[in-house]
Amino acid sequence: MKAMLELLGERRAAARLGGGQRRIDAQHGRGKLTARERLELLLDHGSFEEFDMFVQHGCTDFGMADVKVPGDGVVTGWGTINGRTVFVFSKDFTVFGGSLSEAHARKITKIQDMALKARAPIIGLFDAGGARIQEGVAALGGYGEVFKRNVIASGVIPQISLIMGPCAGGDVYSPAMTDFIFMVRDTSYMFVTGPDVVKTVTNEIVTAEELGGAKVHTSKSSIADGAYDNDVEALLQMRRLVDFLPASNTEGAPAWESFDDIDRHDASLDTLVPENPNKPYDMKELILKVVDEGDFFEIQEAFARNIITGFGRIEGQSVGFVANQPMVLAGVLDADASRKAARFVRFCDAFNIPIVTFEDVPGFLPGTAQEYGGLIKHGAKLLFAYSEATVPLVTVITRKAFGGAYDVMASKHVGGDINYAWPTAQIAVMGAKGAVEIIFRGMDADGIAAKTKEYEDRFLSPFVAAERGYVDEVIMPHSTRRRIARALAMLREKTVEAPWKKHDNIPL
């Protein structure tokens, strides 16, 4: 018996060594943790239960029969984050570059199936070079199985991908079908094909960082939702994110104890909006002053900064925030901002997370660059996302709500439940000067000025909308937190009956 126990101990030790000490040292040398070290940080201490530690590939081509590593390049299992179950897989770059074989794929699909059955989130830690080249089509088949499960689980359980090394091929396509992608600065890259292939095919010379580094994907392509300085910070932030999310679409978001008074007034909000309507102010200040304990997890912070998206809590419950940011492009809605917010709204709606919208938007961005770039379709994505959402929708108009953007940003007409306006709100078809120049084309300057003043007095306030019931109430800025908390509490059991359909046809 003792010998058998020793044998198990030895086999476990061998598996834990992955691709060997030399490669582990190289991994550390690059500033990266190993697959197992990462899981230790991600999960509650001692909670990790590993599966399939002894699985090996079955490939015999290219001398592979002689190089088998127990675990085959991915560590899989489940554990807890602050006591809540999550399923995990962590690619081991020290074993064939973390590449995916048929056996490796089966380990991942087993975890995907279990996560779906158990209705618990799944987190993938990626540090891998795509399909195992020696296995060819068997590896491609394996990816297909992973992709299909990504899609089946989409909207049922949260799926999170953390990119922690150079990732190519299937190791970027599978993350692309999950809910969130985060990266680690300077050590992680995402591309369909790496710089060598790019050079061969297109003659383009580009570094991995330029092709698919964290900066590119958080600020240009919008593939990644955020980036962190190192593995430790990234993993700790994933723990923080999971705390905001429900385990599945049949659960509400978790409620954590809050020590922040919901009746907390913030007098500084009464002067947040400047007297001059063209002067910017920081909408993030409003979010931070409204959420519990100022705790806000921003999604896509570096992309389309004219709109802010992220998670906070009110009365301990998760809330998704969408807010125009007057500090960037005056908070205008362009194609990027629309896409960014639409995806976020759809995530919240799929997972029963109420949405609070802070609105100060001068309209959609005009011009050929936007029109040629498909502004109509991208703007429609946001309109569509809000209109189909059935979670509680609470909107606060702080200043401008102009034109189509007024309708789009969770107005009551498209399904917003509660629409509040600050006394500084201006709800109109467009700004006064533009409006008057169209209606009174050809009028002299003095006439235009007089008519502009008349338009401002009549329309640039919350009261025309309030008179029609489009705004439920004009509220004091300092009481915004309490008003939102009460609205969300009132809407907790909100139910919407929608006609049966197979699925909708959002303008992609």
Where on the chain is the footprint of ligand HXC (CB under 6 A)?
23, 96-97, 99, 129-133, 140, 143, 166, 168-170, 173, 193-194
Nearer to ligand HXC, 166 or 403 (CB): 166
CB of 190 closer than 8 Å to CB of 217: yes
- Least distance CB 310 / ligand HXC (angstroms): 30
Cα Dmax for the chain: 101
CB of 312 closer than 8 Å to CB of 295: yes
| Gap between the Cα atoms of 319 and 262, Å rounded | 14
Structure tokens at 132: 């195992």
- Least distance CB 131 / ligand HXC (angstroms): 4
Nearer to ligand HXC, 169 or 312 (CB): 169
Nearer to ligand HXC, 193 or 222 (CB): 193
CB of 420 closer than 8 Å to CB of 483: yes
Nearer to ligand HXC, 95 or 435 (CB): 95
Query: Any residues with CB less than 8 A from the CB of 377 and at least 6 apart, and which?
Result: 507
The one catalytic residue in 169, 331, 379, 416 is 169
Residue 404: active-site member: yes
- Least distance CB 96 / ligand HXC (angstroms): 4
Nearer to ligand HXC, 102 or 292 (CB): 102
CB of 101 closer than 8 Å to CB of 138: yes
Nearer to ligand HXC, 140 or 448 (CB): 140
CB of 412 closer than 8 Å to CB of 466: no
Phi, psi of 449 (to 5 degrees): -60, -40
CB of 405 closer than 8 Å to CB of 333: yes
- Least distance CB 226 / ligand HXC (angstroms): 22
Residue nearest to ligand HXC (CB): 169
Query: Any residues with CB less than 8 A from the CB of 508 and at least 6 apart, and which?
Result: 381
- Least distance CB 136 / ligand HXC (angstroms): 10
Element (H, E) at 211: helix 208-212
The one catalytic residue in 316, 404, 415, 434 is 404
- Least distance CB 138 / ligand HXC (angstroms): 12
The one catalytic residue in 120, 247, 253, 405 is 405
Number of Cα atoms under 13 Å in the Cβ half of residue 475: 23
| Residue corresponding to tokens 């000067």 | 433
Query: Any residues with CB less than 8 A from the CB of 372 and at least 6 apart, and which?
Result: none
Residue 194: active-site member: no
Phi, psi of 66 (to 5 degrees): -90, -10
Phi, psi of 205 (to 5 degrees): -100, 120
Single-letter amino acid, residue 329: L
- Least distance CB 236 / ligand HXC (angstroms): 25
Nearer to ligand HXC, 172 or 333 (CB): 172
End-to-end CA distance of the chain: 61
Nearer to ligand HXC, 48 or 143 (CB): 143
Nearest-5° Cα angle at 260, 257 to 261? 115
| Gap between the Cα atoms of 420 and 403, Å rounded | 18
| Gap between the Cα atoms of 50 and 70, Å rounded | 13
- Least distance CB 135 / ligand HXC (angstroms): 8
Nearer to ligand HXC, 23 or 106 (CB): 23
- Provide the 3-class DSSP secondary structure of residue 28: helix
| Residue corresponding to tokens 């689980």 | 153
| Gap between the Cα atoms of 44 and 84, Å rounded | 9
- Least distance CB 169 / ligand HXC (angstroms): 2
The one catalytic residue in 170, 213, 320, 416 is 170
**Active-site positions?**
169-170, 404-405
